[in-house]
Amino acid sequence: MNTRPGISVVLWCACAGALGAAAGWAAGDDYLAAGCAGCHGQRGEGHGAFPPLAGQPPAALLQSLRDFKSDRRSATVMPRIAKGYSDAELVRLARYFANRP
């Protein structure tokens, strides 16, 4: 029995964008960013242990995403999530969240 059903939901939400991209679905920036909302908030505002993404410099966001993808930066789930995005999608995500208030 799963004693932490919320974790399954968060992981599913976090991976939704990456899975859609891997399946070849056409993805808008809102769709790509939707996978981040489970942990980082609907607008990337962050909460609890999850840092805000909104308004951060795009170069810093992109570097973090690339570091997660290449295992240069460790975390519980982010390295696995980042690997599901292409480099172009990581650029789009960084730009998307940098432009959020």
Per-residue pLDDT tens for 78-91? 999 999 999 999 99
7 neighbors 26 (Cβ within 8 angstroms): no
pLDDT at 8: 43
What's residue 14's pLDDT? 52
**Nearest CA to 42 among 50, 52, 34?**
34
According to the model, what pLDDT value does residue 22 have? 44
Domains of the chain (ranges plus CATH)? 5-98 (1.10.760.10)
Q: What are the residue ranges in the chain where pLDDT is below 50?
A: 1-3, 5-12, 17, 19-26
CA 61/CA 7 separation, integer angstroms: 24
**Which helix or strand (DSSP H or E) is residue 88 part of?**
helix 87-98
63 Cα distance to chain centroid: 13
CB-based contacts of 1: which residues, under 8 Å, 6+ apart? none
